[in-house]
Amino acid sequence: MEPGITTGARRIRVFDTTLRDGEQSPGATMSLEEKLEVATALAELGVDVIEAGFPIASPGDLAAVRQIAEQARGVTIAALARCVKADIDAAVEALRPAADPMLHVFFSTSDIHLQHQVRLSREGALERIDQMVRYARAAVPNVEWSAMDATRTDLDYLCRAVEVAVRAGATTINLPDTVGYTLPHECARMFTRVREYLAERVPNADQIVFSTHNHDDLGLATANTIAAIEAGVRQIEVTVNGIGERAGNTPLEEVVMALRTRADNYGGYTTGVRSERIGGVSSLVGRCTGIVVAPNKAVVGSNAFAHESGIHQDGVIKDRTTYEIMTAESVGWTADQLVLGKHSGRAGFRQRLADLGYEVDQERLQGLYARFIALTDRKKRIDDADIVAIVEEEEQHSGPEAFALLAWRSASASDGPGRADAAVVLAIDGQEYEASGTGNGQVDALFAAINHLVRIPNTLVSYHIDAVTPGGDAQGAVAVTIAVGDRTFQGRGVATDVVEASIRSYLVALNRAASAAKGTEHRGDAETQRAAERNESKGREEVAERV
């Protein structure tokens, strides 16, 4: 198969940009480990392309793209670059380990952007596009070129820019609605016009894959994406849960399920997405980004398959198709959710774990079940998200553990010296130790107590609390990042008490630091980090001379 070409005229290539455009959502920043977890889940979901990041943007982005490129197989890995040599160099370097790399270069084409942001004439822009697409193509055979702000670009000029990019070697042409402005018929007309223009001038123009990338500022992203498919586009750029800049990007789950549910209308457009994995990936992205899906969100909202009104319930009980156009199972939500509570036995709990995609042996089941029963004492309703949070926290403990939490207490008050007191009991290599600490809050005091025992000098780089589910008795999920020397380590912890969740997350990070110190992992990391730093300084100079 040639790069950039998918088999079957009605096969739609899914280009997922959750890790790039999605991660640009305010507050969505993910750790390296979370990005790797999401990338693995996307590959298993069956997307064709994972846009892993924008390597010039930061050393962290470059390192993430490189690691994803190293690990992911059976999927194309894309990296973003402006039409600037340093950007392209950084992206090429990050993509080097990829089995199937794609370089994504973009340049603005609208007069608004050319005049106010890029400060180049139309002709100057064409020259830049020609040079930089050629430069990119010399490094990587699979090049996507995007006309930033395409939907607000003069159509004749857009046609000329696309021709320049194709002649320079671009294999995919993406015409994004960067600002979420276009309408479905207008978006379709743009693609039809550009494709006709190209077909008249460039030999083998039908080998070029056209791509659509929409933003949801007017709530039209999915509609525009589908209109583009009907106009001949064979690649869609989407994100899980529709996360992305401002109002977000086209949600992957909406387009995939619209094509499937209305196959009668769309006559056999297919994607490689395994729809029954959508629910799981949606939850994962929600947890990693902290961006909670609205209950009424199409396909992945918690109410998307819930029937509340009496008339609807009556109909669904008689026959599900009365009010359901697709089944909950088809997107990975188990139907007829049996309620899990204090009285659920191990078998029911194990079945729910299996439904959620976790196969556990007897020994792990024992530990997980104990945490589940403890949770039923503190929380009225146990949701799938609670169970997933417990399993995922527990999975972090799979390696050898130097430190384990046995007990803790802490106290703080509005009066008094303004200090919190805390004590912890830890098992360290099988021995029990106790220490106390003070701090300007309970978490601070507990971390101080832990540090008396653990003795790994570290600084707390970040600390986030989120609720796993809504409600006053929700579990708190805490994510911490610590720096030890020039390395960083993440940990996540869940508990109904956020103080306990904090201790758990901190100990996970410290255990990871301890096992790294023993040299059990990470040879490549330092190298990646050095490469990232080199590129950061390069990037700064380049941004200064900005296009």
Cβ at position 112, least distance to Mn ion in Å: 16
Coil, strand or helix at 215: strand
Contact region with Mn ion (CB under 5 A), list: 16-24, 216-224, 493-501, 502-510: 16-24
Compute the least distance from the CB of residue 65 to Mn ion, in Å: 17
In terms of CB distance, is 16 or 21 closer to Mn ion? Answer: 21
The two structure tokens encoding residue 547: 């296009």
- Which residues, 6+ apart, have CB-to-CB distance to 115 below 8 Å? none
| Dist. CA 66–CA 454, nearest whole Å | 32
Stretch that binds Mn ion, among 14-22, 54-62, 125-133, 376-384 (CB under 5 A): 14-22
Which uninterrupted H or E stretch holds 379? none
What one-character-per-residue DSSP string does 400-464 give?
--SEEEEEEEEE--SSTTS-EEEEEEEEETTEEEEEEEEESSHHHHHHHHHHHHH----EEEEEE
User: DSSP label at 11?
Assistant: B
* CA angle (153, 155, 158) in 5-degree steps: 70
Residue of minimal Cβ distance to Mn ion: 21
Distance in Å, CB of 108 to Mn ion, minimum: 13
User: Pairing mode, if any, of strands 172-174 and 459-467?
Assistant: unpaired
For position 21 contacting Mn ion by CB under 5 A, the verdict is yes
Instruction: Give whichever of 100 and 177 is closer to Mn ion, judged by the CB atom.
Output: 177
Cα 48 from Cα 38, distance rounded (Å): 14
Stretch that binds Mn ion, among 17-25, 66-74, 265-273, 388-396 (CB under 5 A): 17-25
CB of 148 to Mn ion, least distance (A): 9
DSSP for 305-362 reads: T---SHHHHHHHHH-GGGT-SS-TGGGTPPSSPPPP-TT--HHHHHHHHHHTT----H
Q: Which residue lies nearer to Mn ion by CB, 242 or 491?
A: 242
* Binding residues among 186-245 for Mn ion as defined by CB under 5 A: none
Q: Which residues contact 357 (CB under 8 A, 6 or more apart)?
A: 280
- The distance of closest approach from Cβ of residue 425 to Mn ion in the complex, given in angstroms and rounded to an integer, is 50
- Contact status: 500 vs Mn ion (CB under 5 A): no
Return the number of the residue (150 or 170) whose C-beta is nearest Mn ion: 150
Closest CB to Mn ion among 21 and 444? 21
CA distances from 267 to 194, 211, 258, 261, 299 (A): 24, 20, 12, 11, 21
Angle 18-22-23 (CA atoms, 0-180°, nearest 5)? Answer: 105
Q: How far is the CB of 190 from Mn ion (least distance, A)?
A: 16
Q: Using the minimum distance from each CB to Mn ion, give the nearer residue, 97 or 242.
A: 242
Q: What stretches of 33-142 adopt beta strand conformation (E)? A: 49-53, 76-82, 101-108
Q: Which is nearer to Mn ion, 213 or 287 (CB)?
A: 213
Backbone φ and ψ for 381, nearest 5 degrees, come out as: -115, 125
Q: Measured from the CB atom, is 171 or 249 closer to Mn ion? A: 249
Task: Name the segment binding Mn ion (CB under 5 A); options: 21-29, 343-351, 369-377, 427-435.
Answer: 21-29
Nearer to Mn ion by C-beta: 21 or 500?
21
Chain centroid, CA 401 distance in Å: 29
Q: Which bin fits 430, alpha (ψ -120 to 50), beta or left (φ > 0)?
A: left
CB of 176 to Mn ion, least distance (A): 6
Q: How near is the Cβ of 130 to Mn ion at its closest, in Å?
A: 23
Query: Which phi-psi region, left, alpha or beta, contains residue 461 (left: φ > 0; alpha: ψ -120 to 50)?
Result: alpha
Nearer to Mn ion, 18 or 31 (CB): 18
The length of the chain is 547
Could you tell me which stretch among 20-28, 397-405, 463-471, 488-496 binds Mn ion (CB under 5 A)? Answer: 20-28
Coil, strand or helix at 89: helix
Residue 144 touches Mn ion, criterion: CB under 5 A: no
Cβ closest to Mn ion, residue 106 vs residue 369: 106
Least separation in angstroms between CB 241 and Mn ion: 15
Rounded to a whole number of angstroms, the minimum distance from the CB of residue 155 to Mn ion is: 21
**To the nearest whole angstrom, how small is the minimum distance from the Cβ of residue 21 to Mn ion?**
4
According to CB under 5 A, which residues from 457 to 486 bind Mn ion? none
Using the minimum distance from each CB to Mn ion, give the nearer residue, 21 or 384. 21
Least gap, CB of 316 to Mn ion (angstroms): 38
Q: How far is the CB of 135 from Mn ion (least distance, A)?
A: 23
* Interface region with Mn ion, contact rule CB under 5 A, candidates 19-27, 74-82, 217-225, 446-454: 19-27
- The size of the interface with Mn ion (CB under 5 A), counted in residues, is 1
- Cβ–Cβ under 8 Å, residues 335 and 329: yes
**Measured from the CB atom, is 28 or 443 closer to Mn ion?**
28
Our CB check for Mn ion shows the closer of 112 and 406 to be: 112
Give the CA distances from residue 256 to residues 302, 356, 520, 528, in Å, rounded to whole numbers and listed in that order. Answer: 18, 21, 41, 35
**Can you read off the two tokens belonging to residue 257?**
């399920």
- Alpha-carbon span 471 to 372, nearest angstrom: 18
The nearest distance, CB 286 to Mn ion, in angstroms, is 20
Residues making contact with Mn ion (CB under 5 A): 21
